[in-house]
Every structure is written in C-alpha cells, then in structure tokens.
Amino acid sequence: MRGKLAVSSAMALIALLLTSNAVSGAPPLVTEASIDGDVDLNNRVRYGFQTVEGSERYNIQYSDVPFTNLSESIYNGQSQPGPQAWILVSSEPEDDPDSPETLKFLICWWAQVDLPDSLAGDFQSDPDWKEPTFLVGMPIVPPEAVSVVCDLPGIVRGQEVYIATVSVDANGEFTDDGLEVLSAITLAESAKPPDPDMTSVYIAIGVIVGSLCLTAAVLYFISPSKRERSGYLFILPAILLLATLTFYPVGYGIYLSFTDESAENYGQGEFVGLDNYETLFSDERDYDGDGDPGFWRTFTFTLVWTFGCVAMHMLLGVMFAMLLESGIIGKVAWRTILLIPWAVPGYISVIMWRGMLNRFGWVNGILTSDIDYLGLDNWAKFSVIFVNIWMGFSFMTMTTSGALAGIPKDMYEAANIDGVGRYHRFRHLTLPQLMPALVPLSLLGMIWTFNLFHVIFLMTGGGPDRFYGEPGVTDILVTFVYDIAFIDGEYGLGAAWSVVIFLMLIVFSTAYLVVTKGGEVEG
C-alpha cells in the first residue's frame, strides 16, 4: 500500500526557504523539504539535510508557527518546546537515546552521497540509500552518513509547518546560530475520483426504478380493493427516490467494501473478498509502529463520546427542565435564552468554540490559564465532548420540559400531603412519567451522536496526533471514515469501515425499534 506511486495531480507541495541567517558557528545544514506523492500518505512532508562533522545527534524541530529560535518551536499538541524528532549518529546502536518513545519518525534513509535535486524519488529501492537501524523506533545513522532524508509525520493537510534541523555535538550542546527554518505545506487536494465509467450505475438505477415501477403496477392491478390501491400511486415517487438515493448507495457501499477501489484505480477495482475487513483490524496500516492500527482506539473513543454526551444531555436536560417547570419567575425569558445553543447553526457553534478554546483564545484569557485545549490529548477529548454537551443540552431541556408540563399536578399535591421527600418524589413520580419520552429520545440521541460528523471534524479534525492514515486522538468512527475515503482515497477500505459502523448502529436501532414498538407502524 505504501509503495503505490502518486497520482501527482492529486497533490502538490510548496517548499520555500524562509530565513537563512547563517552567521557563525557550525556550517549551516543544507536542507530541503519536498513532498513525495504517495496518495495514502499525502500528509507527509519529506525532508532532507546534509550531515555535519562532529555531530552526535540531529534534532528536527517543527512548529505550526514560524520560529526564530529553538525554544519557540512547538508543534500542535506538544506543551513543552523541544525537538520533535531525533536522529542519532552512532556506530553503536545500543546507545541509550533520551526518551525514544516520543519519537514519531516513520521512514528515514541515509546515504554517503549528496542530497539529490528532487526528494520525490523512491529511496527504498535506490541502492545508494539505506534504511537506518532502529532503536525503539529511533533511527540511528552511522557516522559516515553524508545526507539524511526522512518523512515528517503528523503534518495535517493544508497546515503550514516550519521545520529546522539542529546538530547536537558530543557535549549535548546545540545552538540557535545558523538556524535555518523551512516552511512546507501539503496542498494535497482531497482524493476524489476521476470521471468514472458510469454505465453500471446507470444500469443499476434503471433496473431499480424499472422493477419498482413494475412491482407497483403488479400490486396495483392484483390489489383486491379498488379503493385502497391508489395508495401505490401516492407513495411511488418517494419510494423511488429512497430506493435510488438511499438503498442503492448503501448496497453499493457494501459492494465497495469487498473491492480494492481507490481514487487511483477507480472503476478498475477488483473483488478482494474480506481483505479490507482484515486490514481494518490488522496492523497493516499501523504506520507509526506503535502496534496500534487505530480501530479499537477509535472505537473506544466513539463509545465514550456517544455515551458521555448522551448521558450528560439527559442529566442536564432533566435537571434544567425540572428547574424551568418548578414555578420560576421569567420562565419564558429563560426558556428563550436556553434555546440559543440549539438554535445557533451547529457549524457556527463549533467554530465559535474552536476559537474560544484556542490556546490564545478567550477561555484561557478569562481563566488566566495557559492550556492548549485542542492540542493536548485528554483536553482535546474533553473539549469535543464538552462542546457537544453545550450544543445538545438545550434540545433535551426543551423536550423534557414539554414532557414534564404534561404530568398531572394533582399527583404532586397528593405526594406533598403525604410528606414524600424530594428524592422519592423524583424517583417514583417524575421519572416513571418521563420515561416513555426519555428512553426513545436517548436512543435516538445515541444514534445522532454516534453519527455526528461536523463537531469533531470542525473542532479538531480528529487531531491531535493525526499521523498518516491513522486516526487522531479525537477521531470517532465517522470522522475517520471521511479521512480514509476522501483524504486517503481508499474507497474500499472506507466502505468496509462504514459497514462495520452500520452493524454497530443496528444495535442502537434495534433497541430503538423495540422500545418504540416498531415506530408504532400501525398508527
């Protein structure tokens, strides 16, 4: 998968030399950033440099803001400035590097020749270039290496990054002198397919429309009741639309999941059986080599996200609805204010919160704290859930307060006379009356939240820690499927993920249908 060559039209990368303030000290490292056009790894920035005599180690620092000295280089998600990657120069691979586990290099090559003019080649098969030995994931190049090429991970598509190499001598000294900062940006377009051959799609849609019309006609004419049969005519347009634009795509998606269709070979995909499903659970796509291909991680977070959000929605919704319905002064005004999170268009709310939670945003401003809410793993998870709670609680408050208003008041009066305590009044009076409304609402809420795309996509894009082709820390299943399909261009694999998601949703949906008794179809 990694060896596939680029569809070069899908991407381009601009690399430009920003500053070159080589003044004194060691000769500047010759550096160059480039892109290699590998579609499924299209967030990769390839980076090469000449080595310097007497170096013990090279630190590669990168940041998403320009920096002029090393202490300013922080990449998304790192709270402490410092090197984001190391390359050790050593003839003895047993050397103990400092904190190798933070190292996230994927691929790196060294050679005893100068850097080539273009870095976009295939270093893997080039006899001049060798892969370094690795020590706990840390690449070690021998001292005789002249130049090094490595792929920088974790570059989010479209995000400009600034990169610098620093050589560290035997005493662990390194210097800002001669710091050269490169800027690189992946301008990879979303991998969307070229014009496909649509004949099969036309045929399939034709067949569906034809057979449905035929079925309707047959049913119409064999229908025992002349009166009732015109119903077919009324529902036919809606059924046709639903069949061609929902059921057919779903079936087509399931078919795609058994093929190796991708943006590159669209239309020529072959049937590969269950390969995609195996890939899903295997470590074939475990690019950063931490033994975790991401499926179970994403799955766990999806569950945390779904249950956490819905539980908080219900809790806050019931609490605030009871408050609203407990004879409050200015009920209409409060209701209107509490309506706002629901009323403001969702994408606007999400972006508002993203701005507020930005490291230099308002939340840190008024709390006088300094936390990168969207860049630190646990904070990012907390933040996306928090924002979704903000967006959803008001809907639950509204619906619950509607349900509460329908509970007869005389029961409470009777309970008051009997001296029933507040807890028991809630537990044995209010809750049983609310349950018929709350249970289906919460199940539907779970289905919605499970499928909710734009909150996470617009807040964090799945990050932090989005390494090529692997889900980020806050990715949930549906946001990651989007990445696989439209950024990596792996339609088959994306479809396989979708089918797995679909199977999970069936659990929620069955529960929902059982609870609502098949949606009261009789009604």
Question: Can residue 17 be called a binding residue for other proteins (CB under 8 A)?
Answer: no
| DSSP letter, residue 271 | B
Q: How far is the CB of 451 from other proteins (least distance, A)?
A: 5
CB atoms within 10 A of CB 186: 20
Q: How far is the CB of 185 from other proteins (least distance, A)?
A: 6
| 36-44, 91-99, 306-314, 391-399 -> range binding other proteins (CB under 8 A) | 391-399
Question: Which positions from 241 to 270 touch other proteins by CB under 8 A, shown as an x/- string?
Answer: xx--xxxxxx-xx--x--------------
Q: Token pair 């305590």 is at which residue?
A: 421
Q: Site residues for other proteins, window 25-54 (CB under 8 A)?
A: none
Dist CA 481 CA 493 (whole Å): 9
What is the SS3 assignment for 35-62? CCCCHHHCCCEEEEEECCCCCCEEEEEE
b/e 397-426 (16+ beta carbons within 10 angstroms → b): bbbbbebbeeeeeeeeeebeeeebeeeebe
Binding other proteins by CB under 8 A: which of 22, 208, 311, 444? 444
How many CA atoms are closer than 13 Å to the CA of 147, on its beta-carbon side? 17
> CA angle at residue 227 from 221 to 231, to 5 degrees?
70
CA 158 to chain centre: 15
| 19-27, 42-50, 73-81, 513-521 -> range binding other proteins (CB under 8 A) | 513-521
Q: How far is the CB of 71 from other proteins (least distance, A)?
A: 19
Binding other proteins by CB under 8 A: which of 142, 361, 407, 433? 361
Select 133 or 427, whichever has its Cβ closest to other proteins.
Answer: 427
Binding other proteins by CB under 8 A: which of 94, 96, 173, 195? 195
Q: Site residues for other proteins, window 459-478 (CB under 8 A)?
A: 477-478
Binding other proteins by CB under 8 A: which of 362, 413, 416, 435? 362
Alpha-carbon distances of 309 from 303, 350, 386, 449, 482, rounded to whole Å: 10, 15, 8, 8, 22
Q: Site residues for other proteins, window 284-323 (CB under 8 A)?
A: 320, 323
Select 462 or 494, whichever has its Cβ closest to other proteins.
Answer: 494
Question: Can residue 426 be called a binding residue for other proteins (CB under 8 A)?
Answer: no
Q: How far is the CB of 303 from other proteins (least distance, A)?
A: 15
Q: Site residues for other proteins, window 317-336 (CB under 8 A)?
A: 320, 323-324, 326, 328-330, 334-336
Q: Which of 178, 207, 276, 233 is nearest to 495 (CA)?
A: 276
Binding other proteins by CB under 8 A: which of 339, 407, 415, 429? 339
Q: Site residues for other proteins, window 69-128 (CB under 8 A)?
A: none
Number of residues assigned to the chain: 523
Question: Can residue 343 be called a binding residue for other proteins (CB under 8 A)?
Answer: yes
What is the helix (H) or strand (E) element at residue 405, kind and residue range? helix 377-405
Q: Site residues for other proteins, window 205-244 (CB under 8 A)?
A: 205, 219, 223, 225, 227-235, 237-239, 241-242
What is the helix (H) or strand (E) element at residue 183, kind and residue range? strand 180-186
Dist CA 173 CA 176 (whole Å): 10
> CA angle at residue 461 from 196 to 292, to 5 degrees?
90
Question: Can residue 353 be called a binding residue for other proteins (CB under 8 A)?
Answer: yes
Q: What type of residue is 431?
A: L
CA 131 to chain centre: 31
Dist CA 207 CA 199 (whole Å): 12
Select 50 or 442, whichever has its Cβ closest to other proteins.
Answer: 442
Binding other proteins by CB under 8 A: which of 122, 296, 454, 514? 454
Dist CA 182 CA 18 (whole Å): 6
Select 146 or 241, whichever has its Cβ closest to other proteins.
Answer: 241
Binding other proteins by CB under 8 A: which of 136, 201, 214, 435? 201
Question: Can residue 384 be called a binding residue for other proteins (CB under 8 A)?
Answer: no
Q: How far is the CB of 334 from other proteins (least distance, A)?
A: 5
Q: How far is the CB of 142 from other proteins (least distance, A)?
A: 38
Dist CA 161 CA 174 (whole Å): 22
Q: Which of 102, 183, 181, 109 is nearest to 139 (CA)?
A: 109
Select 19 or 358, whichever has its Cβ closest to other proteins.
Answer: 358
Binding other proteins by CB under 8 A: which of 358, 407, 429, 433? 358
By rule CB under 8 A, what count of residues binds other proteins?
Answer: 128
Q: Site residues for other proteins, window 478-497 (CB under 8 A)?
A: 478, 481-482, 485-486, 491, 494-495, 497
